[in-house]
Each structure stands twice: as C-alpha cells, then as structure tokens.
Copies of this chain bind each other. A is one copy, B any other.
C-alpha cells in the first residue's frame, strides 16, 4: 500500500511535520514556564494525543464529551471539557468523574452554576468548575470586569467547587502577523490575570488559569500569571494559519490525496475526486488577503504548486484552476495523476475522514483511526 495505490480521496498526515509542530509547542510552553494542555479536538485520535501531550495521562482539552470518554478510555485522565456545560450533559460528566476521570467543566452564568451545584450535591459527586472569561468578544464567557464574575464564583458550591478561570482568544484568528497576534496574546493574558486578581480579592483562589489559541500560543512572549495553555490546530497548521503568518505553508502537516478524473479543456479546469465532502466546506481563507479557494494544490510528494488552487467543489468533485484565471493544459495533469490538497482548516478537513494515512519520508507508515460524533459509544433506544 503506497501513495500511488491507496483509494482516493485519502487523508494524509506528514509525520515529520506533525512531530515537529508538536515538539515546537512543547518547547515553547516549557521555555515560557507554562503547562501545555493541548486541545485534542483537531486530531480526535489517541495517536495524536500521545504526540501532543506532555504525559500519557494529560493534561489535555476536549470539545465534546464523546472525546472525553474516548480519551479517558485510552488513559487520558486530566481533561477540561472546554464548551459551556449545560443541563443535558450533567449526568454524563458526573458518570465520567465517578469512573475516575478528572474532567473539569466550564460555565459562564449564574443559572448554570446554581443548577450544576445542586446536581452535584444531589448525586454526591464532586466536580471542579472553571469560569469562562470572554477576553475579546468572540463568543461565550463573562467580561473580565463584569459583576457576574464574582456572583458566578459564589454560586459554585457544595460538591461543585470553583477551580479557576479559562479563556480563548478566538478573535486572534483575525490577527495578521506576529505583532497583532502578540497584542491578542497580551490581552488574553491580561484579562485572565485581572480576573484572577478580582477573584482572589473576593476570596476565590484560581488553581487553574487557562488561556489558549494557536495564534497567541505561537507568538507568546510571556504567560506570567497563567498556569496553562490550550491550543490545538498548531499540531497540523493549515492555510488559515498560514494566512495569518502563524506558520508557513510548508509546515502544514495535513493534506488530502486526490486523483485527476477529467478536464474541461476550454475552461482550463482539472477535475479531481476530492470534493467538499472530503475537504470540508470550510472557506476560512475567503476573508483573508489571499483567498485559497478550497485549498492549495501540491504534487503527490507534497511540493506546492503556488499558482494552483481548488477553485470550486461539489460533493465528490474538486475543480482545480489557476489563480490568475489562465488555462491549465490537461497534458500537465493527465487523468490518473495524484495530487495533494492543503486544507483551509485542518480541524474541518480531518473531521470528514475515519482515518489518517501517516506518511513518513514519502511512505505510508501507519493508519491512525479517529472518532467523530457526539453520542455515547453504546447507544440504544
């Protein structure tokens, strides 16, 4: 089984690049004296987790309880479920805790804090809770200066106990270049430090002060006052990150192997079997300075064709065009030619596939399975 014979479309992981990306972030956090708590939502694979984490049991971050259950079953014990907890998931979280998994939850409002505290008391299961901080208006969380912050901390009580604060500088995905990312990182750090101070004055000690996003983690100069950094997509990188200047295109460890199935000569199109189902519908570079379409085209070895992108896509068809609109000569890419497509968004492309083909020095070295979905493993009516 090699790159010329595996069925296409196929998701390829460049092991050397992936390992280098993982090591870079471990080193970076270590140098800044902060714990890395990698986000496992990008890979959704225990093989990824083992390369990303600083120990086999964690710490790590997950985006679903299905991930938490899967990684716990594979020995990862120290987890944060980094999406606001709500009523329908209380039982499932406490089941994990009762089974010995040290999963921590986050929330950003008094109502949930009250409900969750009562639930933990009723079930007699202790659970650490972090308050989510909104450092940049991106989505969830309480404002660092809001009165709600202390109120929420007070509402977490009984078996549920206050353990710290967490933020995600989601708006750093709009920052271009080192300076802008550093500014976002300073704001992320400052917001957390300010909250920790306010909480301390109110009598709440933050054991965990958790920040994290790939653009801020890559360029951080200091995490003083922060205990840990969560980031995920750095292990693969992608065209969105390259567009922000957070990585180069050459550092991107994920690609889609496709095969040319035909052409439209007059239009200069090359048509492949890699459609949006295998690339994802993510068009994250469309708002950036350089729109990469559905992805940048490489040859089978991964060498980038700087002038070629996937210009459009149907479910199982990708249409490769030249950026400048000039025609591609079909003879340059005859039917059967294999190419690789770099992803706009690695988390989104990977999610379309049950497995990674791990490529080392041009050869397929392993197959790594990944999980998907939100439901418990055993599901019946």
Contacts and interface: CB of A to CB of B under 8 A. Distances in A.
Secondary structure dominating the interface of A:
loop
Contacts of A63: 277, 315-316
Interface stretch (A185-193, A218-226, A247-255, A257-265): A257-265
Contact of A259 (B88, B261, B372): B88
A172 interface: no
A364 B381 CA distance: 8
Nearest to A269: B139
A9 B65 CA distance: 11
Interface string A310-322: 0000111101000
A335 B109 contact: yes
Interface string A270-282: 0101001110111
B348 A281 contact: yes
A315 B41 contact: yes
A7 B278 CA distance: 26
Nearest to A232: B315
Contact of A10 (B111, B316, B374): B374
A264 B335 contact: no
Contact of A283 (B271, B273, B281, B316): B281
Interface centre among A115, A354, A366 (most CB of B within 10 A): A354
Interface stretch (A18-26, A78-86, A159-167): A78-86
A139 B317 contact: yes
A366 B381 contact: yes
A87 interface: yes
A259 B86 contact: yes
A367 B381 CA distance: 7
A375 interface: yes
A9 B89 CA distance: 11
Nearest to A65: B7
A314 B170 contact: yes
Nearest to A338: B88
A246 interface: no
A30 interface: no
Contact of A317 (B140, B281, B367): B140
Contacts of A348: 276-277, 281
Given A112-B262, A264-B134, A366-B381, A317 B7 contact: no
Interface of A: 1, 4-10, 41, 63-65, 83-89, 92, 107-109, 111-112, 115, 134, 138-140, 170, 259-264, 271, 273, 276-278, 280-283, 314-317, 319, 334-336, 338, 345, 347-348, 351-355, 364, 366-367, 372-376, 379-381
19 contacts: A7-B89, A7-B375, A8-B88, A10-B374, A41-B316, A63-B315, A63-B316, A64-B316, A86-B273, A109-B262, A111-B335, A140-B271, A140-B317, A276-B348, A281-B283, A353-B374, A354-B375, A367-B380, A367-B381
